Amino acid sequence: MASNPYDEMFRNIARLMERLLNDLPTGDPRVIGFTIIAGPGGMPEPFDIDDADGEETDVEVIEGEDCIYITAEVDTHASGKPYVTFQSDSVTLCTGSDEETVIELDCEIDASHSFYNVQNGVIDAVCQKSRHISATS
């Protein structure tokens, strides 16, 4: 039987997950969602926001070389649908409640190539950074 070329990658991911789970603090840890970024990236910058009920909602922002990744927990008790609106210098995030959160970004993004996905109680937004090409004469 031929070996799968991705076997080593899956073994590395399994080792990483095992290490992450072993390092979780005792008590009631929550994992909202995560992204594995292979390559240069920044440290996550967590935001605490209050939703309509006054409960804190965690939003995680990670800046990579080409993209900015935003992850948040969806309010499953809210009547509305979660959504993300992209502007050139900010992202408006709604996790399902009536309140929106505006996240100011340190760089410009290409709103037309940015997207989001809602799955398993987590909203993930990928903001494609703008690439300005300056014309030289």
Q: Which residue has better confidence, 137 or 37?
A: 37
Predicted pLDDT of residue 115: 94
Percent of the chain with pLDDT over 90: 19
What would the pLDDT profile of 100-136 be if each residue is shown by its tens digit? 888 888 899 999 999 999 988 888 999 999 986 444 4
pLDDT surpasses 70 at 11: yes
Q: Which of 84, 77, 81 is nearest to 114 (CA)?
A: 84
Write the secondary structure of the chain as one string of H (helix), E (strand) and C (coil): CCCCCCHHHHHHHHHHHHHHHHCCCCCCCCCCCCCCCCCCECCCEEEEEECCCCCEEEEEEEEECCEEEEEEECCCCCCCCCEEEECCCEEEEECCCCCCEEEECCCCECHHHCEEEEECCEEEEEEEECCCCCCCC
Q: Specify the pTM.
A: 0.60
Domains of the chain: 5-128 (2.60.40.790)
pLDDT surpasses 60 at 56: no
CA distances from 123 to 26, 79, 83, 101, 117 (A): 26, 16, 8, 13, 6
